C-alpha cells in the first residue's frame, strides 16, 4: 500500500470514530417545552442552542441532563425560581446583543408563550 493511501485511511478512521463519539452522547430532545409558571411555557430549541454554545455545562451545571430536572432542582431548592432564566438565558442573550451578534429574545413574550 502506498504511504499516502495509508494516511488517507488513517485520517478517515479517526474522523469517523470522532463523529461516532459525538453521536454516542445523549444530547436529549431537539425541542423541549419548559415550565414557565404563570407567565406561560417556553418552547426551547435545545439542539439549536447546543450548536451555538458547544458547552453543555453552561446550562447543565445548574441542572442535570435529564427530563424534568429544571423543575426538580427548583423544587429541591438547588436553584431558585427564575435563576436560570436570568443568569443563564437572558444574560447570554443580552451579552450577544451587546457584542453585536445574533441574539435570542429579551422580552417576556419572546420566550413565554401563552
Ligand atoms: C442553553 C441551555 C442548554 C444547553 C447548552 C444544553 N442543554 Fe440540555 N437541557 C436544557 C434544558 C432546559 C433541558 C430540560 C430540563 C428539564 O426537562 O427540566 C435539558 C435537558 C437535557 C437532557 C434530558 C433529556 C431531554 O431531552 O429532556 C439531556 C440528555 C440533555 N439536556 C443533554 C445535553 C447535552 C449533552 C448538551 C451539550 C451537548 C446540552 N444538553 C446542552 C438546556 C440546555
Ligand atoms: C430568554 C427566555 C426568557 C425570557 C426573555 C423571560 N423568561 Fe421567564 N423563564 C424562562 C425560563 C427558561 C424559565 C424557567 C427556569 C427558571 O425558573 O429560571 C422561566 C421562568 C419564569 C417564571 C416562573 C418561575 C417559577 O418557578 O415560578 C416566571 C413567573 C417568569 N419566568 C416570568 C418572566 C417575566 C415577567 C419575563 C419578562 C420580564 C420573563 N420571564 C422573561 C425564560 C425566559
Ligand atoms: C450562551 C448563549 C445562550 C444561552 C445560554 C441561551 N441562549 Fe437562547 N439564544 C441564543 C442565541 C445566539 C439565539 C439566536 C439564534 C439565532 O437566531 O441565530 C437564541 C435564541 C433563542 C430563542 C429564539 C429561538 C427561535 O426560535 O428563534 C429562544 C426562545 C431562546 N433562545 C431561549 C433560551 C432559553 C429558554 C435559554 C435558557 C434555558 C437560552 N435561550 C439560553 C443564545 C443563548
Atom 22, ligand 3: residue with shortest CA distance: 104
- pLDDT band of residue 114 (cuts 50, 70, 90) is confident
Cα distance between residue 11 and residue 24, in whole Å: 20
Q: How far is the CA of 2 from the centre of ligand 1 (A)?
A: 46
Cα distance between residue 74 and residue 88, in whole Å: 15
CATH number of 29-111: 3.90.10.10
DSSP label of 26: -
The structure's pTM equals 0.90
Return the best residue to mutate from 82, 86, 87, 108 for the ligand 2 pocket (most ligand atoms within 8 A of CB). 82
Atom 18, ligand 2: residue with shortest CA distance: 82
Cα distance between residue 23 and residue 90, in whole Å: 29
Look at the block and give the residue holding cell 470522532: 18
Judged by average pLDDT, the poorest of 7-11, 49-53, 72-76 is 7-11
Question: 20-63 pLDDT, tens per residue?
Answer: 555 568 999 999 999 999 999 999 999 999 999 999 999 999 99
- pLDDT, residue 4, reads 64
Amino acid at each position: 500500500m502506498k504511504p499516502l493511501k495509508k494516511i488517507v485511511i488513517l485520517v478517515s478512521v479517526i474522523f469517523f470514530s470522532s463523529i461516532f463519539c459525538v453521536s454516542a452522547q445523549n444530547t436529549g430532545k431537539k425541542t423541549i417545552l419548559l415550565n414557565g409558571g404563570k407567565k406561560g411555557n417556553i418552547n426551547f430549541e435545545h439542539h439549536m442552542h447546543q450548536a451555538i454554545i458547544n458547552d453543555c455545562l453552561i446550562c447543565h451545571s445548574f441542572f442535570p441532563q435529564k427530563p424534568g430536572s429544571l423543575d426538580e432542582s427548583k423544587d429541591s431548592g438547588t436553584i431558585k425560581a427564575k435563576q436560570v432564566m436570568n443568569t443563564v438565558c437572558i444574560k447570554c442573550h443580552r451579552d450577544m446583543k451587546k457584542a453585536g451578534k445574533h441574539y435570542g429574545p429579551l422580552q417576556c413574550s419572546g420566550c413565554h408563550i401563552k
